[in-house]
Amino acid sequence: MKKWLFLIVFIAYLTVEVCYLEVKATCGPSMEPTFTTGDQVLVTCAPWWKWLLLDKGRPITVAIPGPHLLLKRVLAMPGECLEVKISLGGIFENVPALAGLSIKTVYVVPEDCVYLMGDNTEHSTDSREFGPVPIDCVHGIPLLKWRDLDWIPF
């Protein structure tokens, strides 16, 4: 019995070490309804997993300057084009004639960068504010989420 227990613990240890697994807690409304405050997320931080799993539409964790990791969704990959709509109403507040006007332009994501956005766009600080994120800043990719740890018997 002790040999099997040792083998299971050893395999679990190797899995964590090889896959660079971390558990992170989510905080804030930016990724609702996919992730809500208090969700636990199992993240792989292995460099080779990033290149295999990094794809448009996938949630990722990024380390940008600041105290916390951000959890956002990849909206565009390097070299992809985004259509950006800029409202002139907020820029020229005192000109009523421009209040409802907007400009559409095309933005190309730079090489070695990704463009990120939160699922809850009304309450998300993302690439619309801090620009594209270098792929080197990608911390990890969520593999699994759960709401709480009440199911663990200890």
For 82-92, give one letter per residue: b (16+ CB within 10 A) or e.
Answer: eeeeeeeeeee
DSSP H helices, the chain, are 2-19, 47-53, 127-130
pTM for the model: 0.74
Residue owning tokens 């992809």: 80
The token pair that represents 53 in the structure block: 């799993």
Domains of the chain with CATH codes: 12-76+112-146 (2.10.109.10)
pLDDT tens track, the chain, 154 positions:
677 887 787 777 766 666 677 888 888 999 999 998 989 888 888 777 777 788 999 999 998 877 788 999 999 999 999 988 777 666 566 666 666 777 888 999 999 999 999 999 889 989 988 899 999 899 889 988 887 655 544 4
